[in-house]
Amino acid sequence: MEKKIGIALIGLGNRGISMLHDCLLPRREVEIVSVCDVYEDRRDRAVQKIKEAGRPAPFSTADCREAIDRPDVDAALLMTPWDDHINLACFAMRAGKYTGMEVGGAYSLDDCWKLVRTFEETGTPCMLLENCCYGRDELMILNMVRQGLFGEIVHCQGGYRHDLRDEVSFGRENRHYRFRNYRARCCENYPTHELGPIATILDINRGNRLVSLVSMASKAAGLHDYLQREKGASYDGTQLPYAQGDVVTTVLKCARGETICITLDTTLPRFYSRGFHVQGTRGMYMEDNHSVFLDGQDNAFDFKWREKWGCADAYREAYDHPVWKAYLERGVRGGHDGMDWLEMDAFFHAVSEKAPAPIDFYDAAAWMSVSCLSEQSVALGGAPMAIPDFTNGKWLSREPWQP
- Domains observed in the chain: 5-130 (3.40.50.720), 133-331+360-396 (3.30.360.10)
Which residue type, as a one-letter code, is found at position 157?
Q
Please write down the long-range contacts of 41-45, taking CB distance under 8 Å and 24 or more positions apart: 42/12, 42/13, 42/16, 42/17, 43/12, 45/12, 45/17
CA distance 74 to 6: 5
CA distances to 160, 165, 182, 246 from 223, rounded to whole Å, are 17, 6, 9, 8
Cα–Cα dist 272/6, whole Å: 36
* Average pLDDT rounded to a whole number, residues 92-96: 98
Beta 210-217 vs 30-36: how paired, if at all? unpaired
pTM for this one?
0.96
Answer yes or no: is pLDDT of 1 > 90. no
* β-strand partners of 281: none
Nearest-angstrom CA–CA distance, 136 and 197: 11
C-alpha 171/C-alpha 186 separation (Å) is: 17
Is pLDDT at 266 greater than 80 in this prediction?
Answer: yes
* 159-175 pLDDT per residue, tens: 999 999 999 988 888 88
Please give the pLDDT value at position 80: 95
- pLDDT tens for 344-384 read 999 999 999 999 999 999 999 999 999 999 999 999 999 99
Please give the full DSSP string across 247-298, using - where no structure is assigned.
Answer: EEEEEEEETTS-EEEEEEE-SS----B---EEEESSEEEETTTTEEEETTTS
Work out whether the CA dihedral 79, 139, 350, 106 comes out positive or negative. negative
pLDDT of res. 26 = 96
Lowest mean pLDDT among 11-20, 157-166, 172-181, 287-296: 172-181
The pLDDT tens digits for 49-72 are 999 999 999 999 999 999 999 999
How much is the pLDDT for 298? 87
- Nearest CA to 84 out of 193, 181, 163 is that of 181
Q: Is 78 helix (H, G, I), strand (E, B) or coil?
A: strand
Q: Exposed, middle or buried: residue 217 (CB in 10 Å: 0-12, 13-18, 19+)?
A: buried
Calculate mean pLDDT across residues 286-298: 93
Where does the pLDDT of residue 303 fall: very low under 50, low under 70, confident under 90, or very high at 90 and above? low
- Using a pLDDT cut of 70, give the percent of the chain over it: 98
Three-class SS state of 138: helix
Q: What is the 3-state secondary structure (H, E, C) of 178-214?
A: HHHHHHHCCCCCCCHHHHHHHHHHCCECCCECEEEEE
- Give me the mean pLDDT over the 28-46 stretch: 97
Separation CA 338–CA 343 (nearest Å) = 9
CA 281 to chain centre: 28
Whether the pLDDT of residue 32 is over 80: the answer is yes
pLDDT band for position 304 (50/70/90)?
low
Mean per-residue pLDDT, 194-215: 98
C-alpha triplet 346, 342, 142: angle, nearest 5°: 90
3-state SS, residue 376 = helix
Looking at residue 36, its pLDDT comes to 98
